[in-house]
Chains A and B, each alone.
Chain A
Amino acid sequence: GAGVSQSPRYKVAKRGQDVALRCDPISGHVSLFWYQQALGQGPEFLTYFQNEAQLDKSGLPSDRFFAERPEGSVSTLKIQRTQQEDSAVYLCAITISGTSGSAKGNEQFFGPGTRLTVL
């Protein structure tokens, strides 16, 4: 995706393990989103950051999910005590810098995603 890298690309975890997924946008992107895409489904919103502030976490499915973006750039999505139902592709998206408040600021550009498999 334009200006967004994610790592690892693939992660296999045993049930109960903690995992950390990283999103690394090209600097200057103000808004950052996390989505979860289960097999055969469309992406579903998890959480949203504007700079370092987490302004919306209404989509996080449980308190095992935690996201942070301490310096307003790189973001980490952490899942504690993983369960099989957490298996999905986790997508990070950003909006174009400097366009917040305009229609163009609503275009989201996605990273390649991290495929998490919980055994």
Chain B
Amino acid sequence: AQSVTQPDIHITVSEGASLELRCNYSYGATPYLFWYVQSPGQGLQLLLKYFSGDTLVQGIKGFEAEFKRSQSSFNLRKPSVHWSDAAEYFCAVGARREYGNKLVFGAGTILRVKS
């Protein structure tokens, strides 16, 4: 069965500093991988996804993530954080199926940005 671990419950960074949010997954093969962001009272917004090909994927809002098969990781990065990035971030994995691909989410990492 798939599972996702986000080791950091909370992370605080200064505005303008770099950011890395960790995600490790468990799955028997190469999964589909996603990062979502959730602001308070909002639904989930897709930041980026990995399906195949280049292991470094670019997303919206200046985020990127790197798939490392050997480490079963898909860490999210941003070179310079903005105050508006404060939110909760979820990593998710999905099986490589034709349809009905339910997502398994991690518990989330709350990002705080200090000025």
A residues near B (Cβ < 8 Å) are 1, 4, 31, 33, 35, 40-45, 48, 50, 55-56, 59, 91, 93, 100-101, 103-113
Contacts and interface: CB of A to CB of B under 8 A. Distances in A.
B94 A106 contact: yes
A1 B43 contact: yes
Nearest to B9: A40
23 contacts: A1-B43, A31-B99, A33-B103, A40-B107, A40-B108, A41-B108, A42-B106, A44-B105, A45-B103, A45-B104, A56-B100, A56-B102, A91-B44, A101-B98, A103-B32, A103-B52, A104-B51, A106-B101, A107-B46, A108-B34, A108-B103, A109-B46, A112-B41
B90 interface: yes
Contact of B100 (A55, A110, A111, A113): A55
A66 to B, nearest CB: 18
Nearest to B108: A42
Q: Which one of B49, B94, B101 has the highest number of Cβ atoms from chain A below 10 Å of its Cβ?
A: B101
Given A1-B43, A106-B32, A109-B46, A48 B100 contact: yes
Given A91-B44, A100-B98, 20 more contacts: A31-B99, A33-B102, A35-B103, A40-B107, A41-B107, A42-B4, A42-B106, A42-B108, A43-B44, A45-B102, A48-B102, A56-B102, A59-B102, A103-B51, A104-B51, A105-B101, A106-B101, A107-B34, A108-B34, A109-B46
